[in-house]
Amino acid sequence: MKTIQYELANGIATITFDEPGSPVNTMCRDWHQDLTEVTARVVQDKESIRGIILASNKSTFFAGADLKSTMRLTASDAPAVFRDIEQTKKNFRTLETLGKPVVACLNGTALGGGFELALVAHCRIAVDDRKVQFGFPEVTLGLIPGATGITKMTRLLGLMGAQPYLLESKLFGPREALELGLVHELVPDPSQLRDKALAWIDAHPQAVQPWDEKNYKIPGGGATSPQVKAGLAVAPAMIKKNSRGLYPAPEYALAAMVEGSLVDYDTALRIESRYLARLIVSPVAKNMINTFFFNLNAIKSGQSRPKGIPRYKPSKVGVLGAGMMGAGIAYVQASRGITTVLKDVDLPRAEKGKAYSLKITQPRVDKGRMSPYDQTELLARITPTADMADLQGCDLIIEAVFEQRALKASVTKEAEPKLAPGGFFASNTSTLPISGLATASAHPDKFIGIHFFSPVDKMKLVEIIRGKQTDDETVARAYDYVQALGKIPIVVNDSRGFYTSRTFGTFVTEGTTMLSEGIPAPVIENAGIQCGMPVGPLAVIDETSLSLSVHVLDQTRADFAAEGKTYDARPGQLLVERMVKEFKRPGRAGGGGFYDYPAEKGARKTLWPELKSLFEKPQVAWDITEVKDRILYRQAIETARCLNEGVLTTVHDANIGSIFGIGFPAWTGGAMQFIYGMGIDAFLRRADELARKFGAGFVVTDAVQQSIRQHQPVH
């Protein structure tokens, strides 16, 4: 056997998982074959066995399915997938019904198929380590647990109790697992696992699984019990509300749970297998696996980080500007143990910025999720000030002042000399080219863009922008700093709007352009939501501020004029300008924009009624599919252009950036994966149709087409 070691000594059969050439154990093709073989050997040795131990030779227990092979599946593979799943379950069932006690020694993390493997055991003993995680992340990858996970978790925790772990992919550590009864004992050190396992085997010579007990009942009652019926009645509606019908995985998982609870255990397993076999070959699953596993891991492992530069974490960081962005950056830094100097033009404003951290942490303290001591320590790391001298010795200084080139230049010149030797300076600008801002720096090679998203404490993405003179060391340090904050960094090259703001701009501008064409505002907003965007384009530009968009437009015009050029604004941009300058509708913060915002607490926003009379044209024909395509295709095409122009250098930065920064629908796998998932030729045909009807925004040039094909991922 290639991936499994088998040893029988003193009546104990030890099955050790050890996939060669891999840092983790996976359910690869060799493993499936080895599992069948080792199961046969256990059956053959049954009379000599008094107990079975499942163990791992890796630092973790088991990582789960081999997702590379999953990416190669096609719809025609579904029957074969079903047979393979059933064979795995047959092996699992053989081991757990052999009449011998089985113990899993969980020396580390066990996720997905790895935890399903652990559930084969009658007893699970785990190392008490906060870093260890258990659970089923499958739904976040467009899949469901299909190797007994749904069936067993439902029978262990009940139909209602298992839902957070199966439908929402809630992970848990060893202590929570112990409380749930999913782990039976904890040990402080991996070296103690085997002795505890042997002791449990000696004490339980006739162990059986709970569902094989004669009087077994599902905890909390089955699907037909009155107390469960009420919860199940609303669950599908809640799933549909959250998924908008675009993510089949949670719907399949719930169906397998409920249907499986109405039949015997073995029939429930077959139901589970059918749902997984259908889902695993679906386009949505492939898109989500590609991005949320392969792309995300590429970023976590630092594939976009310059190589050969030592890892770095700043100990003291200065933040210029204590407004919404600066206050958010200060909180995130302090929460990660970084000493922070928060500077504004006067002390009251700086203190108000620090108070944001109190506002975030106090509810956690009140609910017992954070100790008063930890809150005090966090707040003590933030020093509010109006004195530039307090920035002396900072490893990094980030300016988060208003989007005005002259102001940014002024604070850069004043603060940069306060950096510690070897320190670097960053701008949090969302639109202004970094190379231009770097002209105010005495050390442009140590000047970089670090673009946070609002609200900083909730948004996971940070866009790192390399200026024309930024050196590799500064990029690497910025990357490490972002990861030290627990954020996801993408690295892009300098341009107007970089990647995220530039592509986000196409989303909102396409929405406002459609409004200028006479398409009803409710149609545009609903189309955005139906295709999977978090909110419609009109709602999101209200939040980010129409007046800010007009300010950026004015700055762009000025920059073009300085170069002797004229900037041709799109109809949608001109409409936004009218909203601000003519109708005095600057956005939510200014009292209203495309929406009205009632003062009454809890009242819902509504579209501004005047939009209908001002912009809607009853004679204009529209098609909802076409409106949705315009929203998605426009962003995907702009992403491909960024890749062609070198603003983006990798597909993984494009996909992760589009989802976590712009809100591009996760079911697509991101803006580039949307192209690849559609099929390049099919995507280009549809883009050409849209270009003929709606103009240059949908044109995919030969050069861009070549970039799309060159960057197509291979798994």
User: What CATH number does the domain containing 277 carry?
Assistant: 3.90.226.10
Domain end: 232, 258, 281, which one? 281
Specify the pLDDT at position 233: 83
- Tell me: pLDDT of 424 over 80: yes
Specify the pLDDT at position 224: 87
Q: Strands of 488-493's sheet, edge to edge?
A: 382-385, 339-343, 316-320, 394-399, 419-427, 447-452, 461-466, 488-493
What's the average model confidence in pLDDT over 306-313?
94
Residue 564 lies in a domain: yes
Give the pLDDT band (50/70/90) at residue 623: very high
Of 83, 136, 77, 80, residue with least CA distance to 281: 77
Residues in Cβ contact with 48 at an 8 Å cutoff, skipping those fewer than 6 apart = 8, 11
Number of domains in the chain: 3
Mean pLDDT highest for which of 564-568, 587-591, 609-613? Answer: 609-613
**212-to-65, 104, 209, 544, 562 alpha-carbon distances in Å:** 27, 19, 5, 57, 79
What's the average model confidence in pLDDT over 226-238?
85
Specify the pLDDT at position 325: 95
Assess whether 485 and 505 both reside in one domain: no
Give per-residue pLDDT as tens, 100-145.
Answer: 999 999 999 999 999 999 999 999 999 999 999 999 999 999 999 9
Assess whether 443 and 572 both reside in one domain: no
Q: Are 671 and 652 in contact (CB under 8 A)?
A: no
DSSP state of 113: H
Separation between Cα atoms, residue 176 and residue 446, nearest integer Å = 45
Specify the pLDDT at position 431: 82
Cα–Cα–Cα angle for 362, 133, 202, rounded to 5 degrees: 125
- Block residue for tokens 């096609």: 74
Note the Cα 119 to chain centre separation in Å: 27
Specify the pLDDT at position 257: 96
| Identity at 263, one-letter amino acid code | V
Give per-residue pLDDT as tens, 55-104.
Answer: 999 999 999 888 988 999 999 999 999 999 999 999 999 999 999 999 99
* DSSP states of 631-698: HHHHHHHHHHHHHHHTS---HHHHHHHIIIII---GGGTSHHHHHHHH-HHHHHHHHHHHHHHH-GGG
- Block residue for tokens 């904050």: 485
Look up the pTM and report it: 0.91
Residue 343: strand pairing partners: 320, 385
Assess whether 679 and 595 both reside in one domain: yes
Specify the pLDDT at position 199: 98
Determine which of 175-189, 220-234, 401-415, 693-707 has the lowest per-residue pLDDT on average. 220-234
What's the average model confidence in pLDDT over 439-457?
96
Residue 561 lies in a domain: yes
Give the pLDDT band (50/70/90) at residue 241: confident
**Within 10 A of 413 (CB to CB), how many other CB atoms are there?**
12
Q: H or E stretch including 36?
A: helix 29-44
Assess whether 28 and 106 both reside in one domain: yes
In terms of C-beta density within 10 A (0-12 exposed, 13-18 middle, 19 or more buried), how is residue 522 classed?
middle
Separation between Cα atoms, residue 258 and residue 174, nearest integer Å = 27
Residue 289 lies in a domain: no
Positive or negative torsion for Cα 281, 287, 292, 295: positive
Separation between Cα atoms, residue 475 and residue 252, nearest integer Å = 43
Residue 297 lies in a domain: no
Residue 225 lies in a domain: yes
Assess whether 264 and 330 both reside in one domain: no
- CATH number of the domain at 458, please: 3.40.50.720
Give the pLDDT band (50/70/90) at residue 264: very high
Assess whether 244 and 377 both reside in one domain: no
Assess whether 544 and 489 both reside in one domain: no
Assess whether 485 and 517 both reside in one domain: no
What's the average model confidence in pLDDT over 654-661?
97
Residue 301 lies in a domain: no
Assess whether 268 and 329 both reside in one domain: no
Domain end: 281, 303, 337, which one? 281
- Tell me: pLDDT of 403 over 90: no
Assess whether 95 and 242 both reside in one domain: yes
- CATH number of the domain at 615, please: 1.10.1040.50
Range of the domain at 591: 501-646+650-710
Residue 415 lies in a domain: yes
What's the average model confidence in pLDDT over 247-267?
96
Residue 130 lies in a domain: yes
Separation between Cα atoms, residue 295 and residue 455, nearest integer Å = 24
Domain end: 495, 518, 542, which one? 495
Separation between Cα atoms, residue 331 and residue 322, nearest integer Å = 11
Assess whether 264 and 133 both reside in one domain: yes
Assess whether 491 and 433 both reside in one domain: yes
Percent of the chain with pLDDT over 90: 89
Maximum Cα–Cα distance across the chain: 89
